[in-house]
């Protein structure tokens, strides 16, 4: 019972901290000139402060000092993994700094990409390593250190940028991240992975505390300071939870992380492939993301956000279920979910085309 009280305390403290710090982040954004101006590819029509990452980051940090004052199994376990924790905080601080600089001055995409790779390599050296993959009906596949480095960097940089690119409408990233983090928290609590449960609950709380200010109509954006920091923290927790036993992770079947992170990863992969096939630079901003498509279908920002919250909740639920069943059922459920996802995608594509066609015909009819 004491453990669950600590879990709840971490969630509440991070939520309260982020909520109370967000007005300060708004004032800092205006004072430092970190304001997102309206543009053709953007949805908002008014200048918007974009240093929300400051509130989320410090809300995420708030609960940790209190764990040194407690004396229960949760606080003792946390103190046993200090190196992992402080290395994560170092990586998150570096990403926050990069995001703040980008929000105020703007940073070149190549420079940001190289900085992210360097940060991912640093985290790999501290133990955030994808060291093995679990496969059905066989021993886990253990990766050579060089291959582990490459795969880990690809995962951390990929998830970080996927979360960053998903940040296109009010409240989307903060809400989706909270859902993914809570799903990871449940997975880790069931597996008694205390450190990882604490991290995910703190991240979920920080996003939930920020959400009232970011929900449509937003009063502040996450900015790169928020989306990059959230993405990196989420990616690192995913490494320890789903690929590595360094932090007590269970290393479930490979489909679990792909399903849990399916929304941001699939959206980013689809957009990148589309841009490559069209001969457009992959880092060029446009309105081809899933949230933009939902808006084209006639949904409001609130409706689009809640639709994608639902998708994230579904993938989170399936991931939690997969970690509780035997290997054979994991494989069967993963295949069934993949088939259902493909069918749903093509049905959605057809509905999107139909909706856009009808919208284009309306002026002619009138």
Backbone angles phi and psi of 288, in degrees to 5 = -105, 5
Give me the average pLDDT of each 10-residue run along the chain (366 residues).
79 96 95 82 76 95 78 72 89 96 90 95 93 70 89 94 90 94 91 86 96 93 94 92 58 71 88 79 73 84 92 90 72 70 67 56 46
CB atoms within 10 A of CB 101: 17
Place of tokens 């640093």: 122
Half-sphere exposure of 299 (CA within 13 A, CB side): 19
Predicted confidence at residue 44, as pLDDT, reads: 62
| C-alpha span between 114 and 89 (Å, rounded) | 19
Predicted confidence at residue 141, as pLDDT, reads: 78
Taking only the tens place, the pLDDT of each residue in 247-288 is 444 445 566 788 889 889 888 888 888 778 777 777 666 677
| C-alpha span between 116 and 159 (Å, rounded) | 11
Contacts of 208 (CB under 8 A, 6+ apart): 15, 18, 174, 178
Strand pairing report for 48-49 and 35-36: antiparallel
Predicted confidence at residue 45, as pLDDT, reads: 67
Predicted confidence at residue 365, as pLDDT, reads: 43
Q: What are the structure tokens assigned to 244, written together?
A: 């590595």
Global pTM value = 0.86
| C-alpha span between 19 and 39 (Å, rounded) | 28
* C-beta separation of 141 from 109 below 8 A: no
Single out the residue of 150, 40, 154, 173 nearest to residue 99, CA to CA. Answer: 173
- Three-class SS of the chain: CHHHHHHHHHHHHHHHHHHHHHHHHHHHHHHHCCEECCCCCCCCCCCEECCHHHHHHHHHHCCHHHHCCCCCHHHHHHHHCHHHHHHHHHHHHHHHHHHHHHHHCCCCHHHHHHHHHHHHHHHHHCCCCCCEEECCCCCCEECCHHHHHHHHHHHHHHHHHHHHHHCCCCCHHHHHHHHHHHHHHHHHHHCCCHHHHHHHHHHHHHHHHHHHHHCCCCCCCCHHHHHHHHHHHHHHHHHHHHCCCCCCCCCCECHHHHHHCHHHHHHHHHHHHHHHHHCCCCCCCCCCCHHHHHHHCCCCHHHHHHHHHHHHHHHHHHHHHHCCCCHHHHHHHHHHHHHHHHHHHHHHHHHHHHHHHHHHHHHHHC
Q: What are the structure tokens assigned to 271, written together?
A: 């957009």
Q: What are the structure tokens assigned to 200, written together?
A: 């995910």
Predicted confidence at residue 212, as pLDDT, reads: 96
Backbone angles phi and psi of 265, in degrees to 5 = -70, -45
How many residues are listed for the chain in this entry?
366
Taking only the tens place, the pLDDT of each residue in 108-152 is 888 899 999 999 999 999 989 988 877 666 567 788 899 999 999
CB atoms within 10 A of CB 266: 17
């Amino acid at each position: 019972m004491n453990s669950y009280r600590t879990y709840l305390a971490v969630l509440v403290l991070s939520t309260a901290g982020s909520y109370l710090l967000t007005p300060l982040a708004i004032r800092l954004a205006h004072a430092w000139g970190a304001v997102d101006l309206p543009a053709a590819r953007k949805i908002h029509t008014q200048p918007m402060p974009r240093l929300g990452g400051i509130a989320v980051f410090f809300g995420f940090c708030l609960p940790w000092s209190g764990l040194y004052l407690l004396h229960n199994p949760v606080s003792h376990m946390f103190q046993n993994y200090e190196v992992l924790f402080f290395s994560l905080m170092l990586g998150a601080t570096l990403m926050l700094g990069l995001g703040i600089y980008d929000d105020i001055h703007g940073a070149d995409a190549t420079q940001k990409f190289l900085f992210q790779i360097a940060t991912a390599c640093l985290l790999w050296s501290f133990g955030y390593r994808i060291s093995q993959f679990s496969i059905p009906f066989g021993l886990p596949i253990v990766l050579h250190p060089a291959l582990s480095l490459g795969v880990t960097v690809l995962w951390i940089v990929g998830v970080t940028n996927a979360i960053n690119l998903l940040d296109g409408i009010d409240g989307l990233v903060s809400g989706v991240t909270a859902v993914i983090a809570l799903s990871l928290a449940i997975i880790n609590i069931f597996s008694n992975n205390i450190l990882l449960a604490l991290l995910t609950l703190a991240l979920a709380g920080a996003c939930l505390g920020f959400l009232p200010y970011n929900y449509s109509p937003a009063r502040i954006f996450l900015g790169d300071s928020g989306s990059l920091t959230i993405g990196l923290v989420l990616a690192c927790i995913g490494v320890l939870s789903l690929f590595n036993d360094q932090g007590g992770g269970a290393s479930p079947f490979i489909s679990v992380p792909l399903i849990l992170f399916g929304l941001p990863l699939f959206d980013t992969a689809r957009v990148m492939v589309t841009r490559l096939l069209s001969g457009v630079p992959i880092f060029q901003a446009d309105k081809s993301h899933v949230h933009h498509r939902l808006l084209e279908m006639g949904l409001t920002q609130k409706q689009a956000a809640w639709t994608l919250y639902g998708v994230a909740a579904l993938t989170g639920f399936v991931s939690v279920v997969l970690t509780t069943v035997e290997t054979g059922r994991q494989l069967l459920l993963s295949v069934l979910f993949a088939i259902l996802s493909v069918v749903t995608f093509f049905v959605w594509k057809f509905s999107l085309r139909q909706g856009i066609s009808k919208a284009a015909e309306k002026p002619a009819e009138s």
